[in-house]
């Protein structure tokens, strides 16, 4: 049995709580490792290490911090195959998808390599008589990230890349389901030249989360996970005086207009709905064809496309997707499919009985598809987070726009059309944070920002890009005057710039 330890102050640290989580191989269903779950004492140890490191790291000039990011980027690229295989072995996504997970995180590291430019402040000469005004961005201190199982490389790098580049130290609490890649990332960060304690990895459950939210020396917390936990993290973190960004669940829609390139839309939606076994917060599990003719044509083409899908083990290069992360999650998806049947939706493809020869104990589930799903159904309102596509028919463009706009989640949405005016109106009107036009998974590039609306995000600052720089820094504004000769008498009214 392999033991996965914490990574604190630049070295492995065994757990003292004697509490462990099981790490499975989703392809076989076997336990492959156990991960130590932190006590409050281990979190205190990590915060103390981060505090010591941050005091010196903040004094390193931005260009030298950027050079560490450049070296970290080089090391990630050199170790891409190792990282992808490790990620797939614990999560279950296919190797190509794991490389995409790492690459999208690496793009934020590339953005962080330009941190000297992003940290530049503002300057006004002569704001008043002999008075100059300027601002600077300074690090917060110790920051923390709580990340989900579905992107064990990308989302941690979204968080700690910018936080460390601007001069903070960082504590990462990754998912205990696939914790090995986050530890390896911390090791590579040390190899890249970051001082020990600048990036610590502490595994755990609610005990570790609450320790982060309550520790007075943790100044900011970034979270990605379910909406209920996101709301908990946001409310408790802000109540303790912390800056918090908490990203929650999603139920992303794909609107298919009558003039869409239907063959391309089907291909795009297939990948977005079933890729990574649907375990993406930017998956596209709801398709909304506009008009009965569009719906029937889409249904026919999608059924044919689903027939071509290959589900396999994560190392099978010909497989489109692999197993889900755990048996508990596989049962949860199956229960939602059964609920959909009970609610009256038409189950036209049922993947619950899928079994892979030689891997019968793996956490596999085949692609499933519903038609005639209604907005009042719980299976439509909830995030299933599995390879399940639901079709909700709309009679008009207005009805189609209203569906994602009225949903409790507002993470991402896409429209498929050849009509530029319809796309423009849709992008303007829809009440969702990220919009794709003929793009099924509209995750912005690293120098823009990622963030949803409604119950998909709590807090007012998005992930990465300049929003990330703002989240992990505080602004200080200086008004300076250098008088010549005798000073004026004390003023008892508020100074103005006449």
Q: Are the CB atoms for 324 and 279 separated by under 8 Å?
A: yes
Q: What is the DSSP letter of 93?
A: -
Q: Are the CB atoms for 234 and 458 separated by under 8 Å?
A: yes
Among candidate residues 314, 275, 277, 278, the one with its CA nearest the CA of residue 28: 314
Q: What is the helix (H) or strand (E) element at residue 299, kind and residue range?
A: helix 292-307
Residue 8: other Cβ atoms inside 10 A: 24
**Active-site residue, selected from the candidate residues 109, 281, 356, 441:** 281
If phi > 0 it is left, if psi is from -120 to 50 it is alpha, else beta; for residue 458 that is beta
Among candidate residues 255, 257, 247, 180, the one with its CA nearest the CA of residue 25: 180
Among candidate residues 186, 272, 176, 175, the one with its CA nearest the CA of residue 225: 175
What is the SS3 assignment for 481?
A: strand
Burial 165-200 (b: 16+ CB within 10 A, else e): bbbbbbbbbbbbbbbbbbbbbbbbbbebebbbbbbb
Q: Are the CB atoms for 98 and 279 separated by under 8 Å?
A: no
What is the SS3 assignment for 283?
A: coil
Both tokens of 38, joined, read 């932190």
Kindly report each contact of residues 352-355 with a partner whose C-beta sits within 8 Å and lies 24 or more positions away, as own/partner.
Answer: 354/311
Both tokens of 78, joined, read 């050199």
Residue 305: other Cβ atoms inside 10 A: 17
| 143 flagged as catalytic | no
Concatenated DSSP letters of 145-197: EE--SS-TTHHHHHHHHHHHHTT-EEEEE--TTS-HHHHHHHHHHHHTTPPTT
Residues designated as active site: 281
């Amino acid at each position: 049995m392999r033991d996965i330890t914490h990574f604190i102050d630049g070295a492995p640290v065994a757990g003292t709580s004697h509490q462990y989580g099981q790490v499975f191989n989703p392809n076989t269903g076997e336990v492959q490792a156990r991960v130590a779950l932190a006590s409050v004492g281990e979190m205190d140890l990590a915060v103390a290490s981060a505090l010591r490191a941050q005091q010196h790291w903040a004094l390193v000039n931005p260009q030298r911090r950027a050079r560490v990011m450049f070296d970290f980027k080089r090391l990630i690229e050199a170790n891409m195959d190792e990282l992808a295989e490790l990620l797939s072995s614990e999560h279950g996504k296919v190797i190509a998808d794991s490389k995409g997970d790492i690459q999208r995180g690496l793009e934020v590291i590339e953005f962080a390599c330009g941190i000297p430019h992003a940290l530049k402040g503002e300057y006004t000469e002569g704001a008043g008589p002999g008075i100059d005004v300027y601002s600077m961005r300074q690090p917060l201190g110790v920051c923390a990230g709580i990340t989900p199982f579905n992107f064990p490389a990308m989302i941690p790098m979204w968080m700690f890349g910018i936080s460390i580049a601007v001069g903070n130290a960082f504590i990462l609490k990754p998912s205990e389901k696939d914790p090995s890649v986050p530890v390896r990332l911390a090791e590579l960060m040390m190899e890249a030249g970051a001082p020990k304690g600048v990036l610590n990895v502490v595994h755990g459950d609610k005990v570790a989360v609450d320790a982060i939210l309550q520790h007075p020396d943790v100044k900011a917390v970034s979270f990605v996970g379910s909406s209920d936990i996101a709301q908990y993290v946001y409310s408790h973190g802000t109540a303790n005086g912390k800056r918090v960004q908490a990203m929650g669940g999603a139920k992303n829609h794909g609107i298919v207009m009558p003039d869409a390139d239907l063959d391309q839309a089907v291909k795009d939606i297939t990948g977005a709905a079933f890729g990574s076994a649907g375990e993406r917060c930017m998956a596209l599990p709801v398709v909304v064809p506009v008009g009965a003719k569009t719906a029937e044509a889409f249904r026919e083409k999608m059924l044919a496309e689903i027939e071509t899908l290959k589900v396999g083990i994560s190392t099978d290069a010909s497989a489109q997707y692999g197993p889900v992360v755990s048996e508990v999650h596989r049962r949860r998806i199956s229960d939602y499919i059964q609920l959909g049947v009970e609610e009256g939706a038409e189950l036209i493809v049922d993947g619950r009985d899928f079994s892979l020869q030689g891997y019968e104990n793996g956490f596999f589930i085949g692609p499933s598809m519903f038609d005639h799903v209604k907005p009042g159904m719980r299976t439509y309102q909830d995030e299933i987070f599995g390879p399940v596509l639901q079709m909700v028919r709309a009679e008009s463009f207005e009805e189609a726009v209203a569906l994602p706009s009225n949903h409790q989640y507002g993470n991402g949405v896409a429209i498929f059309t050849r009509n530029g005016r319809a796309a423009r109106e849709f992008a303007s009107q829809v009440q969702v944070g990220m919009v794709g036009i003929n793009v099924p998974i509209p995750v912005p590039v690293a120098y823009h920002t990622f963030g949803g609306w409604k119950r998909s995000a709590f807090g007012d600052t998005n992930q990465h890009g300049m929003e990330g720089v703002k989240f992990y820094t505080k602004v200080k504004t200086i008004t300076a005057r250098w008088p010549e000769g005798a000073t004026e008498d004390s003023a008892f009214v508020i100074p103005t710039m006449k």
